[in-house]
Amino acid sequence: MLHLFAMLAAVLMTTPMLPRTHTVTPLPRFLTPPVSREILDPEDGSLTYGPYGQVWRVPMQRREIALTFDDGPYPFYTPLLLHVLERSGVPATFFIVGRSAQEFPALVRRIVVGGNELGDHTFNHYTLTGLSDYQIAYQIAAGGAFLQQFTGQPVTLFRPPHGRYNQHVVAIAHTLGFKTIFWSDSPDDVKNISPDIVVSRVLYYARPGAIVLMHSGQYKTIEALPEIIYRLRAAGYSFVTVSQLLRDGNYDQPAQWPIKP
Amino acid sequence: MKRLKVAAVLAAIFLSAVSAALASVAPSAITQPAVHRVFSGPRGLFPAPVRRPVPWIEGVTPPLEDRLFGATYRVLPNHNVLKVYVFNAGGYESAGIRFSARVPHTARDLTETELDREAVQLIRTTFAQFPDVQTVDIWATIPVAQSQATTKESTVFSVSADRATYVALRAGRDLSDDQFLDAFGRVWVSPEVPQ
């Protein structure tokens, strides 16, 4: 066993050390400058809007909440999800992967016909932080352009895959005319958890103007959804799409909110 | 002689390490036999639950999935159904069937006509034999070469069928496969689509 440790030590000693700090590449000049500084909720100081128009939550008094579903469309899962949403009369926002939409366009049409909203989740669902600026722009633009054929109008909402972003990603999305939508309420439903935990986590983080992140291809989410809708409605919440939430929260006039010093 | 002894000791250590590593590798779910295994717990020995290996079902509503697989697997001449999904939610059933667009045990892909034929058979079989199924998604995949893989397979064909359209189409029995699938909005995705 000793010789194994010796070999391991030899390998480690000969491997060059990785740099402890990484350099931040400067942003290209052609990108549109930020629209504001970070904007915080006056009540609890939580982050709501970002400098490039990113949205985590829409600060508002009205009890409105937006359900969003990432990835897909997935055969079998998406019809089920749409069935639950239609039966409950709840609109949602689907952040769709362009490649999946190309494979299953019938499901995207069904999403749109059901009164839901489409958002861009890039064309290939690559982690954008590892790509060049050109590749980031291509992924965002190609995904949005492909979805436009289903909506008949430009798709303006964008969410980065895996929620991974840096200044380049949000700046490029902003330059391309997209609003980057994050979330303030996530049950982390991609993990191996029960539908009960999905319900309890969504309810725990629910608040007026919240954006809930869930995923299309998860049974537990579909199973949890009726309970989530029932409980939130009982608490006085109404469900809207992200665009509606932004309109109701006067997203276009963020100056009324205090700016982070 | 001394060198030989050292070499023999090292070889023994190496072999014991390799055999220990191999012993720790669990057999795959597919090859694992459905037998009662006994685990030792804090209260003594008790039988572990039996897990029957059924790789063709996803496990949402297993009895229904088992039945759907049995029904659809037989109707295709190539027996190339890969996986079925069924979810029963209070009388509303949704199904999904993934089948291989590559003829098993060959390097040949199904032709477009063959894909159409198989998809029509799958839709008709599902709606005819499972009256509670309201929607069925059918899609065909081909494996992706490991060197260029971002996923394990690539979808080359898909159709999303609902019972209402199926019932409306059933009246016109002389529809060709092409016309039948077009009514559902059949999709043909080329495997050459850039990833």
- Rounded distance between C-alpha atoms, residue A39 and residue A47, angstroms: 6
Phi/psi at A231 (nearest 5 deg)?
A: -70, -40
B156-180 average pLDDT score: 86
A216 neighbourhood in chain B, CB within 8 Å: none
Confidence check: pLDDT of A5 > 90: no
Q: Which residues contact B176 (CB under 8 A, 6 or more apart)?
A: none
- Residues paired with residue B138 on neighbouring β-strands, in sequence order: B97, B159
**CB environment A78-91: b (16+ within 10 A), e (fewer):** bbbbbbbbeeeebb
Chain B touched by A109 (CB under 8 Å): yes
Question: Could A102 and B160 be called an inter-chain contact, meaning their C-beta atoms sit closer than 8 Å?
Answer: no
Higher pLDDT, A29 or B99: B99
Residue B185 clears pLDDT 70, i.e. is over it: yes
Select the residue of B60, B135, B158 nearest A79 (Cβ to Cβ).
B135
Q: What is residue B41's predicted lDDT score, i.e. its pLDDT?
A: 45
Predicted pLDDT at B19: 56
pLDDT value, residue A41 = 80
pLDDT of residue A174: 94
pLDDT at residue A236, as a whole number: 95
Chain B residues within 8 A of A109 when measuring between CB atoms: 185
Of all residues in chain A, the percent with pLDDT exceeding 90 is: 64
Range among A187-196, A251-260, B164-173 rated most confident: A187-196
Are A124 and B87 in contact (CB < 8 Å)? no
Name the CA radius of gyration of chain A, rounded. Answer: 20
Q: What confidence tier does A257 reach under pLDDT thresholds 50, 70, 90?
A: low
What are the backbone angles phi and psi of residue A258, rounded to the nearest 5°?
-65, 150
Which pLDDT does position A200 carry in this prediction?
A: 94
pLDDT at B146 > cutoff 80 = no
**Interfacial A residues in 6-65 facing B (CB < 8 Å):** none
CA atoms within 13 A on the CB side of A238: 7
Q: Rounded CA gap, A165 and A152, in Å?
A: 28
User: How many residues are given for chain A?
Assistant: 261
Which CATH code of 3.30.70.1350, 3.30.450.20, 3.40.50.720, 1.10.1060.10 fits the domain covering B62-188? 3.30.70.1350
pLDDT digits (tens, 9 = 90+) for B16-49: 665 555 444 444 433 344 444 444 444 445 555 5
pLDDT, mean of residues B78-103: 86
Q: Per the domain annotation, does A83 fall within a domain?
A: yes
Contact B155 A80 (CB under 8 A): no
Q: What is the mean pLDDT of residues B113-136?
A: 92
Whether the per-residue pLDDT at A98 is higher than 90: the answer is: yes
Number of folded domains that form chain A: 1
Give residue ranges of B with CB < 8 Å to any A CB.
10, 13, 17, 60, 85, 87, 89, 92, 94-96, 98, 134-135, 137-139, 150, 155, 158-160, 184-185, 187, 189, 193, 195
Looking at residue A20, its pLDDT comes to 47
Contacts of B158 in chain A (CB under 8 A): 75, 103-104, 106
Q: How confident is the model at residue B135 (pLDDT cuts 50, 70, 90)?
A: very high
- In order of A218, A225, A228, B51, B155, the CA distances from A193 in angstroms are 11, 14, 15, 21, 29
How far B43 CA lies from chain A's nearest CA (Å)? 28
State the pLDDT confidence band at B152, using cuts at 50, 70 and 90. Answer: low
pLDDT reported for residue B147: 61
Q: Do A3 and B13 lie within an 8 Å CB cutoff?
A: yes
Cβ contact A39:A56 at 8 Å: no
Nearest to B94 among A76, A103, A106 (CB): A76
What are the tens digits of pLDDT across the range A229-250?
Answer: 999 999 999 999 999 999 999 8
Nearest-CA residue of chain A relative to B93? A80
**Min CA distance, B46 vs chain A (Å)?**
26
What average pLDDT is seen over chain B? 75
State residue A72's pLDDT score.
85
State how far residue A103 is from chain B, nearest Cα, in angstroms: 6
Q: Which residue of A has its CA nearest to B138?
A: A75
What is the DSSP code string of B127-181?
A: HHH-TTEEEEEEEEEEE--GGG-SSSEEEEEEEEEEHHHHHHHHT-TT--HHHHH
Q: Is residue A11 part of a domain?
A: no
- Whether A178 shows a pLDDT value over 70: the answer reads yes
Which one of A76, A99, A105 has the shortest CB-CB distance to B96? A76
Q: What number is the average pLDDT over the span A36-44?
A: 78
Domain for residue A151, yes or no?
A: yes
Per-residue pLDDT tens for A68-89? Answer: 999 989 998 999 899 999 999 9
Choose among A3, A102, A219: nearest Cβ to B10: A3
**Residue A261 within any structural domain of the chain:** no
Count contacts between A and B (CB, < 8 Å): 64
Amino acid B129: pLDDT: 93
Distance from B85 to chain A by nearest Cα, in Å? 7
Yes or no, beta carbons of A4 and B94 under 8 Å apart: no
Helix B163-170 / helix B112-129 crossing angle, nearest 10 deg: 100
Confidence class for position A121, pLDDT limits 50, 70, 90: very high
Most confident range (mean pLDDT) of A73-82, B48-57, B163-172 is A73-82
Among B16, B86, B87, B93, pick the best mutation site for testing chain A contact (most A Cβ within 10 A): B87
Is A49 a domain residue?
Answer: yes
pLDDT classification of B57: cutoffs 50, 70, 90: low
Nearest Cα neighbor of A76 from B155, B62, B136 is B136
> For this structure, is A70 an active site residue?
yes
Beta strand segments in A91-162, E: 93-96, 117-120, 157-158
Domain assignment present for A186: yes
SS3 B96: strand
- Residue A29 domain flag: no
Residues of A in Cβ contact (< 8 Å) with B184:
106
What's the pLDDT band for A16 if we cut at 50, 70, 90? very low
- Looking at per-residue confidence, does B31 or A196 come out higher? A196
pLDDT beyond 80 at A175: yes
Of the candidates A1, A75, A219, the beta carbon closest to that of B160 is on A75
Considering chain A, what percentage of its residues have pLDDT values greater than 70? Answer: 88
Residue predicted with more confidence, B55 or A149: A149
Give the structural domain span for A238: 35-256
Please state the pTM of the whole predicted model. 0.78
* CB atoms B89 and A99 under 8 Å: no
**Residue bearing the bigger pLDDT, A38 or B151:** A38
Answer whether residue A1 shows pLDDT above 80. no
User: Is A1's CB within 8 Å of B13's CB?
Assistant: yes
> Average pLDDT over chain A, rounded to whole?
87
The domain spanning residue A241 has which CATH number? Answer: 3.20.20.370
